[in-house]
Structure 1
Amino acid sequence: MYEFRPFELTQCQYKKYGKSSIGRGINCIPKARSGHRCVANESDLFSFGGYNPDIDTKLLPELLKFNFLTKKWSIVFSSNSEEMPKESVSNALTLKDNCLVLYGGTGFPFGEKRSNETYLIWPYGFRKIEKLPTRGDRPEELYGQSILVRGHYLYVLGGTSGHDFTCDIHRLNLNTRTWELLYQSNENIRDDPKGRYRQEIAYDDDYIYIFGGGTQDTSFDMDRIPVYNFHQNRFTFIPTKPDLAIKENGGYPEARRFHSCVQQPGDNGIEVIIAGGSKQDGLYFDDIWKFNLSTHQWQLLTKSKLPYVLYFHDAAAVGNGLMYIFGGVTTNTRDVVRKNDLHKIWTQIPKLTEICWEAVTFYHPNIVDQSKEQLLSVGIPRKFADRITHGRNSGAIF
């Protein structure tokens, strides 16, 4: 029987294709991995890249797709695909309409080969990977950066060469394909944030918010958050509000890196959800926190936690309150283990229509085989019919 369970982390069960499923992608159960990147829309989760020392190649230069309705993984682009980047660990990835924007990354050994290339990846329709020819003041070849697309600009923040760490901000005009150095961070002469990698970011109309990250031997706190002001082109720091019901660490999340972070629209503004991560002294986390960009309030989700400590995983927000968490590294006193588990959690109470749709797909799993016309004819709202037929258009073109 269907039951809506908000704030409860559940593991997604994978299914396999039948023999007749030709043309729907190459069915797969994903290899365990770390250092990959994930994004999602309302129909699919995409995972790019990753690392697993137990396989011959160690690297996983591929794009995978998990469909939320069929509960099946497929390979969108394999390691043999034309223009597939070879630097497939600690990239930065975001989604613009139906187009994935991929930047940076490293190969193995980490830091020996690094990238400052930008790729557009269309996973639907004609399916294509395009490496953008760019000019101007290109960023240094780094990995562990953060990116976002705002208007027709791609912003790139932070990263490392393996030895040096930065908090510089570069911007790529996606129309003219021209780079510019927007802000050069210098903590020695200004109150700028320290250089870092594997930080996570969120943003609104005014600011980029930086959550954690670290260097080789440091993880950064989150009681005072660096923010970049788009309008003033400068960094400041904002104090945050602790969860007063939590005694540990003063009610703030512990300093961390290698965590995951997503942002979702909420009833009281944009909510940021942070999960897992690790600290440089061998401390690993299984906690999940919320942060409100308007009130600057932290909240520990006390009824929700990861099934095990987890770092070097990634997460993606659907936009309706759902968050998915995939892969990563877990550890106990003896072993370090990479995972291929996928979990989901409702991080807020969604609209009633979303709950109803989840119930419909629970009781009618074969609904995915219906055409859009059939779905509309029986009263399925267009919004949800579009999710089933999602991806038949080619996506965004900059």
Structure 2
Amino acid sequence: MYEFRPFLVTRCEYKSYAKATSIGRGINYIPKPRSGHRVVANETDLFSFGGYNPNIENKLLPELLKFNFLTQKWSIVFSSKSSNMPQESVSNALTLKDNCLVLYGGTGFPFGEKRSNETYLMWPYEQLRAIEHLVTQGNKPEQLYGQSILIRGYYLYVLGGTSGHEFTCDIHRLNLNTRTWESLYVSNENIRDNDPKGRYRHEIAQDDEYIYIFGGGTQDTSFDMEVIPAYNFLKNEFVFIPTNADPSFGYPEARRFHSCVQQGGEVIIAGGSKAVGIYFDDIWKFNLRTRQWKLLQTKLPYVLFFHDAAAVGNGLMYIFGGVTTRNGDLVRTNDLHKIWVQIPKLSEICWEALTFYDPTIANRSKKALLEIGVPRTFAERATHGRNTGAD
């Protein structure tokens, strides 16, 4: 029996296609365990780029995968052999704009020896399926990895990162129309008191005024989130914003290698690591308006770091891969979990219930769904970008 279960982490069960002929096209694919990958999502699919696994021959996973929420099936969108596939496929930065993935930076293996300051556009759906390497000009950022990015208007903002030895909190932005870089802010904590420490594997969120920086660290330091560094778009300066503790549980511990998603005015942080041997399974919410922290009374199924998470936009968060512990050893996982971190519209709950009771909806045409009374929004969602496998 279907039951709506908000604020509870559940594991997604992977399914496969019945036709064996599909396997060669990358449809019946179960992803390898990985860490250091990046994920984004829309209402129909989760996309995962890259990753690292020390137990495979090349250790790196330069590929773009897609998990369809309705069919519960994985497919390979772009493989390591796809044209323009970047080989720096660990600790990249990834975001989604409409149906285009924007990928920036990253490192190969050994970490830090080969780094990137290149930007790629990935078009994952059949009509435009391609990887485009952007040729840019202007004041490009250094070749780093572990940066964070976001899109605001027609600008791509890049913040922080590391060479493997040096850490920065500099900000650059790329005009996606003219494809021109500019340096917005060179951070120097030795000169200005309000400049945050250089870092990598931090996470960011935004509102109309600020870019907020959550955690991150260096090789041997993790940063706390009691006072959050924030970059002011309008004044081109950093400030430190005090936050309000959870009345019962205080603040999140300092961490790096965590995940972070933004659902409207709320930020959700999960897992991460403070130092070697100190790993987290907690989930926190932060309200950008009230600056209030809240510890959710649910946890990840195990400690997890170097994973990633994506917000769908309707209140769902998906968490994929990462490093956990098993019998005292560090191991990588290929598990995908989901959690309702906000109460959605009633129509979303009804849609989840309908697909639970009638899994054949995944195979019906848009016309057939409309004829049985499925609202157009959900009929279009069900038939958008159905899995076709890698070329």
Do the structures match in fold with TM over 0.5?
A: yes
The one-letter code of the counterpart of 1:119 is Y
The one-letter code of the counterpart of 1:186 is N
Tell me the TM-score normalised to structure 1 length: 0.94
Report the Cα distance in structure 2 between the residues aligned to 1:181 and 1:21, rounded to whole angstroms.
50
Instruction: Please give the secondary structure, in 2, of the residue aligned with 1:386.
Output: helix
Instruction: Please give the secondary structure, in 1, of the residue aligned with 2:115.
Output: coil
Seq. identity, %: 78
Deviations 1:97-145 (A, max 9, x none): 0000000000000000000000000000231000000000000000000
**Aligned partners of 1:316 and 1:323 also within 8 Å:** yes
Partner of 1:395: none
Instruction: Please give the secondary structure, in 2, of the residue aligned with 1:227.
Output: strand
The one-letter code of the counterpart of 2:143 is E
Partner of 1:69: 70
Shift of 1:26: 2.6
- Residue 281 to residue 57, structure 1, CA distance change in 2 (3 Å): closer
Report the Cα distance in structure 1 between the residues aligned to 2:17 and 2:327, rounded to whole angstroms.
38
Shift of 1:333: 6.1
Report the Cα distance in structure 2 between the residues aligned to 1:340 and 1:178, rounded to whole angstroms.
37
Alignment pair present for 1:365 and 2:359: yes
Deviations 1:295-339 (A, max 9, x none): 00000002x101110000000000000000000000256211000
Shift of 1:21: 6.8
Partner of 1:89: 90
Partner of 2:164: 162
Instruction: Please give the secondary structure, in 1, of the residue aligned with 2:74.
Output: strand
RMSD, aligned CA: 1.2
The one-letter code of the counterpart of 1:110 is F
The one-letter code of the counterpart of 2:281 is D
1:140 pairs with one of 138, 142, 150: 142
Deviations 1:317-362 (A, max 9, x none): 0000000000000025621100000000000111110000000000
Alignment pair present for 1:106 and 2:107: yes
Deviations 1:229-277 (A, max 9, x none): 111111001000000111xxxx000000000000002xxxx11000000
Instruction: Please give the secondary structure, in 1, of the residue aligned with 2:355.
Output: helix
Partner of 2:266: 271
1:193 pairs with one of 193, 196, 205: 196
Shift of 1:388: 1.1
- Residue 39 to residue 175, structure 1, CA distance change in 2 (3 Å): same
Segment drifting more, 323-332 vs 142-151: 323-332
Matches within 5 A, 1:193-232: 193-232=196-235
Report the Cα distance in structure 2 between the residues aligned to 1:237 and 1:380, rounded to whole angstroms.
48
Alignment pair present for 1:330 and 2:329: no
Partner of 2:277: 282
Gaps of 5+ in 1: 393-398
The one-letter code of the counterpart of 2:140 is R
**Aligned partners of 1:160 and 1:196 also within 8 Å:** yes
Segment drifting more, 211-220 vs 23-32: 23-32
- Residue 56 to residue 25, structure 1, CA distance change in 2 (3 Å): closer
Partner of 1:8: 8
Instruction: Please give the secondary structure, in 2, of the residue aligned with 1:53.
Output: coil
Shift of 1:282: 2.5
Deviations 1:117-174 (A, max 9, x none): 0000000023100000000000000000000011110000000000000000000000
Shift of 1:377: 1.6
The one-letter code of the counterpart of 2:317 is M
Report the Cα distance in structure 2 between the residues aligned to 1:185 and 1:94, rounded to whole angstroms.
24
Gaps of 5+ in 2: 387-391
**Aligned partners of 1:226 and 1:237 also within 8 Å:** yes
Report the Cα distance in structure 1 between the residues aligned to 2:64 and 2:95, rounded to whole angstroms.
13
1:315 pairs with one of 291, 300, 309: 309
Report the Cα distance in structure 2 between the residues aligned to 1:241 and 1:5, rounded to whole angstroms.
28
Instruction: Please give the secondary structure, in 2, of the residue aligned with 1:278.
Output: strand
Aligned residue-pair number: 383
Partner of 2:243: 240
Report the Cα distance in structure 2 between the residues aligned to 1:382 and 1:296, rounded to whole angstroms.
37
The one-letter code of the counterpart of 2:352 is E
The one-letter code of the counterpart of 1:350 is P
Report the Cα distance in structure 2 between the residues aligned to 1:19 and 1:281, rounded to whole angstroms.
45
Runs (4+) of structure 1 exceeding 2 A deviation are 20-26
Partner of 1:252: 251
Shift of 1:20: 6.5
